[in-house]
């Protein structure tokens, strides 16, 4: 199995997130950056498939130089090699541009399975998997909470998470699979894994190396523009209800006013 897994570096989910006021894109400089948490599940699933059926896991990311830390983390978890698309010209690319760039590079890797997370915790667009599948011309299996691979038949079957149960969906490889957090428990890299990561093959591609048209990438050529952005309003302090005999009624009134009961 030749497995490609996409990963993204995002601002630490535990940190307060901000938008850059001039570009209105995510401010990635003022906070700690980490691997998108859901991508860890993607990497884990790729490793599990490899452990069960053999093959190779390639991590692909597009992002600034610092995103190398995230690539290293995936390698230290056990991925075999990585491709990092990085170029000043790519800054500010939207989901459409990012998926086009990733697809171009992923196509050259001839994967059987491309694994993506259902969404990244920063922009929460949740569209990358679908866009990739479209660009690559692969079927896509989304919201997977369980993946079963049949290498002989060349098929991948998933349990697709639904509100009131799950759907069994199957597609022939090559296929794009989007995973949700229920799927597994990502491993923590061991020190041996961390040491080994440094020696694993890493390909760094610029816009030119990846064969991308410079006239299509970056903020200036994005299909979508953020017109305005406002910080979230500070959270209102709660209402304190003093019980003067009518506490129950007043709590009920409050809940009713919020249309909760």
- Asked if 191 touches other proteins (CB under 8 A), the answer is yes
Q: How far is the CB of 230 from other proteins (least distance, A)?
A: 25
- Asked if 84 touches other proteins (CB under 8 A), the answer is no
Residue 32 CB neighbour total at 10 angstroms: 10
Q: How far is the CB of 192 from other proteins (least distance, A)?
A: 5
Q: Which of 189, 205, 210, 212 binds other proteins (CB under 8 A)?
A: 189
Q: Is residue 28 packed enough to be buried (19+ CB in 10 Å), middle (13-18) or exposed (0-12)?
A: buried
Peptide linkage before 174 cis (omega within 30 of 0)? yes
Q: Which of 8, 28, 50, 73 binds other proteins (CB under 8 A)?
A: 73
Taking residues 138 to 177 in sequence order and writing x for each that binds other proteins by CB under 8 A, - otherwise, the string is: ----------------------------------------
Strands (DSSP E) found in the chain: 2-6, 9-11, 33-35, 56-62, 81-85, 113-117, 140-150, 155-162, 165-172, 175-179, 202-205
Q: How far is the CB of 208 from other proteins (least distance, A)?
A: 29
Q: How far is the CB of 74 from other proteins (least distance, A)?
A: 12
Q: Which of 22, 54, 164, 188 binds other proteins (CB under 8 A)?
A: 188
DSSP assignment of 146-173: EEEEETTTTEEEEEEEETTEEEEEEEES
- Asked if 187 touches other proteins (CB under 8 A), the answer is yes
- Asked if 61 touches other proteins (CB under 8 A), the answer is no
Torsion angle of C-alpha atoms 70, 72, 77, 79, degrees rounded to 10? 110
- Contact residues: other proteins, CB under 8 A: 72-73, 76, 187-192, 194-195, 198
């Amino acid at each position: 199995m030749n497995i490609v897994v996409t990963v993204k570096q995002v601002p630490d989910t535990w940190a307060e997130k901000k938008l850059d006021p001039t570009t209105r894109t995510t401010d990635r400089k003022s906070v700690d950056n980490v691997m998108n948490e859901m991508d860890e599940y993607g990497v884990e699933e790729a490793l599990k498939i490899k452990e069960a059926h053999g093959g190779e896991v390639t991590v692909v990311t597009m992002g600034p130089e610092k995103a190398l830390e995230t690539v290293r983390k995936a390698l230290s978890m056990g991925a075999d090699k990585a491709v990092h698309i990085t170029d000043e010209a790519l800054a500010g690319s939207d989901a459409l541009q990012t998926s086009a760039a990733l697809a171009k590079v992923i196509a050259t890797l001839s994967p059987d399975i491309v694994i993506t997370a259902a969404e990244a915790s920063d922009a929460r667009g949740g569209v990358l998997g679908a866009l990739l599948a479209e660009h690559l011309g692969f079927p896509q299996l989304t919201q997977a909470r369980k993946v079963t691979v049949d290498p002989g038949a060349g098929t991948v079957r998933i349990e697709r998470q639904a509100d009131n149960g799950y759907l069994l969906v199957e597609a022939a490889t090559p296929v794009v699979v989007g995973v949700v957090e229920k799927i597994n428990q990502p491993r923590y890299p061991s020190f041996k894994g961390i040491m080994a990561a440094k020696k694993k093959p890493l390909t760094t591609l610029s816009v030119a190396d990846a064969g991308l048209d410079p006239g299509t990438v970056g903020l200036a050529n994005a299909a979508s523009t953020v017109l305005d952005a406002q910080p979230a309003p500070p959270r209102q302090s709660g209402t304190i209800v003093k019980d003067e005999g009518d506490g129950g009624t007043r709590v009920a009134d409050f809940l009713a006013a919020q249309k909760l009961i």
